[in-house]
A = this chain, B = another copy of it.
Amino acid sequence: MSAISITGESTEMYLKSIVELEMLTAPPVAISHLAQRLGVSSPSVLEMVKRLAVQNLVTHTPYKGVSLTERGRRRAMAVLRRHRLWERFLVDALHLPWETVHDYACQLEHATAPAVTDALAAFLGNPTACPHGNPIPDAVGDVQPSVAVPLLELPVGQSARLAHIIYEEAILLEYLARRGLVPGARLMLEDIAPYQGPLMVRVDGSEHPAALGREIAARVFVLPD
């Protein structure tokens, strides 16, 4: 409303989280999942979701969940584009460590005008993927769909190449990187423990197989040979 007020930063954070969750689980996205992802209470999320619904950015089905409208999806893709471009910039130009750039990009993504976004993309040579392997939407918000599958769904004994990692928190990325799990790494699923037990993954160039919990394995996407 004024020169000072923040221009829909919350809105963008919600839209981004929704689009990310829609990629993992089929829409609609549960209020509680959003709440967990954003670190905010369910009533707060519900309230915000209602505000987003009024603006025609999401559809809320009571007791079911939220899905993005076309308008909301476009806005979310624009955020994702800015986020991943900044990540490329922070790694390629500023030489900041791979695992740390996600958080910095989360701040910059909300402070970037369209003209800056386009100029940044050109400066970087219009890259098509962020440093974690995730595709960068183009200027109209289109992404080429990934054919990679979650590591969780890779058959045992099947070798594959790591394509991308979603939900790029620094902690997770550091953990994976220390085990050689970076985009492009060759790996093979050796074993899956029963119940909610870990997956044993042999990474090329590593001495020991890595043990990954299922939560983690669901975020690592691979391209089988």
Contacts and interface: CB of A to CB of B under 8 A. Distances in A.
Interface string A113-125: 1011001101100
Interface in A139-165: none
Interface of A: 2-4, 6, 9-10, 13, 38-40, 90, 93-96, 100, 103-104, 107-108, 110-113, 115-116, 119-120, 122-123
Q: Which of A38, A95, A103, A104 has the largest count of B CB atoms less than 10 A from its CB?
A: A104
B93 A116 contact: no
Contacts of A4: 10, 13, 38-40
Contact of A116 (B9, B96, B119): B96
19 contacts: A2-B40, A3-B40, A4-B10, A4-B13, A4-B38, A4-B40, A6-B6, A90-B119, A93-B93, A94-B116, A94-B123, A96-B115, A96-B116, A96-B119, A103-B113, A104-B115, A107-B111, A107-B112, A108-B111
The 7 closest A-B pairs by CB, nearest first: A3-B39, A94-B119, A107-B111, A111-B111, A108-B111, A104-B116, A6-B6
A37 to B, nearest CB: 9
A104 B108 CA distance: 11
B110 A111 contact: yes
Contact of A112 (B9, B38, B108, B119): B108
A45 to B, nearest CB: 10
A94 B120 contact: yes
Nearest to A113: B104
A3 B34 CA distance: 12
A3 B108 contact: no
Q: Quick one: which of A39, A110, A116 has the most chain B CB within 10 A?
A: A116
Contacts of A38: 3-4
Contact of A6 (B9, B94, B113, B123): B9
